[in-house]
Amino acid sequence: MLFIVATPIGNLEDITLRAIRVLGEAELVLAEDTRRTRVLLDRHGIDARPLSLHAHNEASRIDRVVATLEAGGDVALVSDAGTPLISDPGERLVAAVATAGYEVSPVPGASAVSSALSVSGISAAPYSFVGFLPRRKGECERLLVALRDRPDTLVFFESPHRVAATLERLAAVLGNRRGCAARELTKRHEQIARGTLEELAELFADSARGEFTLVVEGAPIAEPATDPRELDSRIRDLLVEGLTPREISKQLASESGIQKRAIYARIIEIKEEPDSPLDS
């Protein structure tokens, strides 16, 4: 089996017991940077000698992995930090192994994305992971314009020398929304900064160190200007016709653009009115 093993994003204690066991039992351990992985393996007394797998040699490693699986051995894939394939190589390997008929199993653990979301103070559901923005200005701005009206929280990765400029660009294109800049997560100099995008850009304008995960509030949802009395009338008519609250909320959301959960809540209120002729 090919195991996709999450490793610590900073603090080497943030590894699961299962991950330690899988790495110790694997016939072959693949790592983006074998030197960094060797530090982790040594810390936990694992004798495996990792083999490099990165963007430039991934295709050439596939035959070696499949041969190991054919011989009955397990293979483990790790990234430099966190969960593999999240902004890291490995996609082609996983696809090839699955196509060859072998199982691929996740060994979950640390992730900078979920860690930053959990401390951001910004809604984590739904969210979209963007990763690193394109370096070319035109490509970057086109992507941000495409994301501008999305209501879901946005998560970006950024390097220290670009973070201030990126925060300024986010504010300029998306608007001066709330954001969180999580720096050096789980490490000694961890920093969690919250504020508007402009405030965060100013905070890191002079100097910044370490890798950043940026969490940005989604676009506000504009509720359509619908007459509440008209909505209530439609709800009552559809209830009389025998439709369920779920069916009504779906139909009226499509007609009005109002969120289904808001319509559903109003349906329940109407059904529970003391003088309502409708069954509750």
* Strands ordered across the beta sheet of 212-216: 127-131, 153-158, 212-216, 178-183, 191-196
CA distance 164 to 215: 14
Q: Which residues 6+ apart lie within 8 Å of 172 measured at CB?
A: none
**74 phi, psi to nearest 5 deg:** -90, 150
Please state the three-class secondary structure of 66-89 as a single string. HHHHHCCCCEEEECCCECCCCCCC
What percent of the chain stands above pLDDT 70?
96
User: What token pair was written down for 265?
Assistant: 């809540």
Query: Residue range 68-73: average pLDDT?
Result: 95
pLDDT given at position 229: 84
The values of phi and psi at residue 222, to 5°, are: -85, 115
The CA distance from 23 to 107, in Å, is 10
Peptide bond into 228 cis (omega under 30): no
Q: What is the pLDDT of residues 173-196, one digit of tens each?
A: 999 999 999 999 999 999 999 999
Rg (alpha carbons) of the chain, rounded to whole number:
25
Sort residue 101 into left (φ over 0), alpha (ψ -120 to 50) or beta: left
Nearest Cα residue to 122 out of 192, 174, 179, 176: 179
Torsion of CA 124, 125, 126, 129, to 10 degrees: 30
- CA distance linking residue 227 with residue 214, whole number of Å: 39
The predicted model gives 160-180 an average pLDDT of: 95
pLDDT digits (tens, 9 = 90+) for 77-87: 999 899 999 88
pLDDT tens figures, 234-270: 898 898 888 998 999 988 888 777 888 889 888 988 8
* Residue 72 CA neighbour count, 13 Å, CB half: 0
Phi, psi of 148 (to 5 degrees): -60, -40
Position 223 pLDDT exceeds 80: no
Q: Measuring CA to CA, how many Å separate 82 from each of 16, 49, 86, 207, 276?
A: 12, 19, 8, 25, 55
Range 143-162 average pLDDT: 94
Token pair listed for 27: 């016939």
